[in-house]
A and B are shown apart, each in its own frame.
Chain A
Amino acid sequence: MIGLLASLFEGAAVGGMEPRVAVYRVALFIASLLFLVGLRMLTNPETARRGMQMAVVGMVLGVVGTLVHKDIVNYYWIIGGLVVGTVIGIPMGLLIPMTKMPERIALSHAGGGLAVALVGIAEYYGGHVHGRFAMGAISFEVLMGAITFTGSLMAFGKLAEILPGKPMTFGGQNAANFLLLAGALAGMVVLVLHPGLSAVFYALVGVSLLLGVLLVLPIGGADMPVVICLLNSYAGLAASASGLALDNNVLIICGALDGGSGLILAMIMSKAMNRSFANVLFGAFGSDAAAAAGGAGGKTGSVREGTPEDAAELLKIAQNVIIVPGYGMAVAQAQHATRDLASAVQAAGANVKYAIHPVAGRMPGHMNVLLAEANVPYDQLYELDAINEEFERTDVAIVVGANDVVNPAAKTSPGSPIFGMPILNVDKAKAVIVLKRSMKPGFAGIDNDLFILPQTMMVFGDAKATLGKITAAMKGGGH
């Protein structure tokens, strides 16, 4: 294909362009089209895999097309980078467990940010940046790339529980962040006016790296879906800026797609939490102050505790059952146990559906991936709007490690920090079984009125073990 293209463009050299440069450009053009078509096919689970394969072809074409570029005189560093990247990338892709997907996504954003920031730094250092527009674009690229790099490392640290998941705050933090951001923007302006001031450029790199750390540290674990999406979007914008500076359209396009998807997902996530970006980024939600304020709204009441056998009795006579998974299911790695219980309930004659809240888990679609891993067919998975009406007609709702997304306080207590957040109407079900490790409140640090409703039965313990016991009781003791 490349050879054919080369011969096609043989004559183009007369027009001022080297044939090998033409091959490079055409290869990248075709790659862009393949990426777009691939993304379009990703909108449907039936065609998604083929869409991905088209993107792989596009990627190979882009890389091969670039390798023949006439400017390349030394292949050692390139091959070294490609080999190292492949040797690390393949096992990472193959071995990482599905429950660790948020960590892996955060790490990959860090890698993407680093790559783009390094491209910007190398271009500047090598004196390849010409003109004010290119300088502005390179500055923006380095700013976004560096923020994405360190910010994603912090997000990874929090998700992997290397860093505390709780918001880490200090006095004057927001003021410090705004000052740093203002400094970085001022630095960009100075660089556009005086591109030769290399000290300003490297200071910009340093400030951006610091900003990434400081912006993510105060954000708590349950807000990670929004943060991951925003970092995704930053990585994309950095790539687009890089494309603008280097006059490389495929970079602009992929950056725009990446940036756009991150932004859309972040919007969906924050809408599902009824919060603005500003609130997520600077609110330090879930800090002690917010928890104290929210706790006041909670009613008091007694909790009805049940055994796995009690839960099984309820499920044996149920007709319609909805399972509501949450982050607790991921933590307990209970997706297979959940599916086993669902099969047992189905075998007993009930209809089982899963209700997936958009912010259940630590990244968009987290629960869907885990349940898919456990072989749950995706036509049993329902989004919030599609299933919320059905809780009224549901005999038993089983809550597996979800908390804030099923808290009725979001509808009833205006004082609650989660008031206004769309929730799954589990409280409307005739009976509710809540699997939970303890009475410890969820991420928002507020009590959950669902747990003290008369129709609610709490079954305490590790979700995986409890699910196993309920399943065993369903299959065992005959009535």
Chain B
Amino acid sequence: MTIDHILAGLYVFSLAAFLGYQIISKVPQLLHTPLMAFTNAISGISVVASILIAGRHSEHLLIPILGAIAVASATINVVGGFVITDRMLKMFKKKEAAK
């Protein structure tokens, strides 16, 4: 890994952290629980790293097994996280529902 790669990665991290801070500070308290469920779901994007580990050629059987467990854990977060975020967001209504 060259210094360019490392710096590029750190650039991305710093900018994303800054942007994330700006955006997340604007999320009202009302939506804090959905926010947690949502960021949890999108951080399940680690599933892409797990997929590469589970699927690429490997000498050791242990590696795809670890990869598959990682794929499963991350997928639970992604799928469950989105489903639950949606359930919560659907409930937030501005006007009283007609009886």
Contact = CB atoms under 8 A, between A and B. Distances in A.
A81 B70 contact: yes
Contact of B63 (A122, A134, A358): A122
Given A85-B71, A249-B9, A366 B33 contact: yes
18 contacts: A43-B27, A71-B56, A72-B52, A85-B76, A89-B83, A92-B83, A104-B84, A108-B80, A115-B44, A243-B12, A243-B49, A244-B13, A252-B9, A252-B16, A258-B39, A372-B92, A372-B93, A377-B96
Interface stretch (A31-39, A187-195, A214-222, A283-291): A31-39
A388 B54 CA distance: 54
A97 B95 CA distance: 23
Interface string B79-99: 111111111111111111100
Contact of A356 (B13, B29, B75): B29
Given A77-B67, A252-B13, A252-B16, A265 B36 contact: yes
A77 B34 contact: no
A304 B64 CA distance: 66
A277 B55 CA distance: 41
B93 to A, nearest CB: 6
Given A257-B39, A264-B25, A383-B29, A133 B49 contact: no
A256 interface: yes
Interface in B40-59: 40-58
B79 A93 contact: yes
B89 to A, nearest CB: 5
Contacts of A248: 48-49
Contact of B39 (A39, A123, A249): A39
Contacts of A111: 73-74, 76-77
Contacts, number: 369
Interface stretch (A59-67, A305-313, A401-409, A437-445): A59-67
B13 A256 contact: yes
Given A63-B47, A86-B75, A243-B12, 6 more contacts: A39-B42, A78-B51, A94-B83, A112-B44, A133-B1, A255-B46
Contacts of A72: 51-52, 55-56
A93 B84 contact: yes
A240 interface: yes
Contacts of A89: 75-81, 83
Contact of B43 (A122, A134, A257): A257
Interface string A109-139: 1011011101101110110001101100000
Contact of B70 (A122, A235, A240, A373): A122
Contacts of A56: 82
Nearest to B13: A252
B82 to A, nearest CB: 5
Nearest to B88: A369
B46 to A, nearest CB: 5
A39 B35 CA distance: 8
Given A71-B55, A77-B64, A375-B97, A112 B32 contact: no
A102 B98 CA distance: 30
A125 B60 contact: yes
Most chain B CB inside 10 Å of its own CB: which residue of A49, A111, A249, A375:
A111
Interface of B: 1, 5-6, 9-10, 12-13, 16-17, 19-21, 23-58, 60, 62-97
B94 A365 contact: no
A39 B48 contact: no
Interface in A364-392: 364-366, 368-369, 372-373, 375, 377-379, 381, 383
Interface of A: 28, 31, 35-36, 38-40, 42-43, 45-46, 48-49, 52, 55-56, 58-59, 62-63, 65-67, 69, 71-75, 77-78, 80-82, 84-86, 88-90, 92-94, 96, 98, 101, 104-105, 108-109, 111-112, 114-116, 118-119, 121-123, 125-126, 130-131, 133-134, 228-229, 232, 235-236, 239-240, 242-244, 246-262, 264-265, 268, 356, 358, 363-366, 368-369, 372-373, 375, 377-379, 381, 383
Nearest to B43: A258
A93, A94, A377: residue with the most chain B Cβ atoms closer than 10 Å: A93
B29 A368 contact: yes
B21 A264 contact: yes
Given A45-B31, A77-B68, A111-B76, A239 B46 contact: yes
A74 B39 contact: no
Nearest to B93: A377
A48 B34 contact: yes
A232 B86 CA distance: 19
Given A93-B84, A126-B60, A260-B24, A49 B79 contact: no
Given A66-B51, A364-B29, A82 B75 contact: yes
B87 to A, nearest CB: 7
